[in-house]
Structure 1
Amino acid sequence: MTTASGAKVLERFPAGSPRGSWPAEEYAARCRAQGEPATVVMDLESDAFLVVVPAEGG
């Protein structure tokens, strides 16, 4: 799956996580530790945090 900006979505997390819980950020950190340039963005339409990486060739 890719976003309108051309980024590849690795994982999505609902925005309603318990206070103090940051599963999207934790997942992105694990990806970065493995060499993936992962970042977290908010998808307002689905009310979810997306962990994304730049699309191949873009």
Structure 2
Amino acid sequence: MVGKVVEAFPAGGPRGSWPAEECAARRRERGASATVVMDLEGDVFLVVETSEPSEHGGD
């Protein structure tokens, strides 16, 4: 599986606000395989789109 970071959101957002999750949900609605991961060192939430590697190993 190959992942690409498509958005980054600071972890210190307003209480009750989930912008990374909302962004990932919008991308999933459009057919992308998006998930949210936490970059602990950078203190940011990352929206990552994943895809299967090509059969030719080019990814």
| Cα RMSD (Å) | 1.8
Query: What is the 5 A alignment of 1:14-29?
Result: 14-29=10-25
Q: Which has the higher strand share?
A: 2
| Deviation string, structure 1 residues 5-49 (Cα, Å, up to 9, x no partner) | 842001000000000000000000000000001000000010000
Unaligned runs of 5+ in 1: none
Structure 2 residues not aligned, in runs of 5+: 54-58
SS of residue in 1 equivalent to 2:12: coil
TM superposition shift of 1:56 = 5.6
Deviates more, 1:12-21 or 1:48-57: 48-57
Helix, strand or coil at the partner of 2:23:
helix
SS in 1 for 2:31: coil
Counterpart-to-counterpart distance in 2, 1:6 and 1:27: 19
- Give the structure with higher Rg (CA): 2
The sequence identity of aligned pairs, in percent, is 65
With the length of structure 2 as denominator, give the TM-score of the two structures.
0.82
What is the total number of aligned residue pairs between the two structures?
54
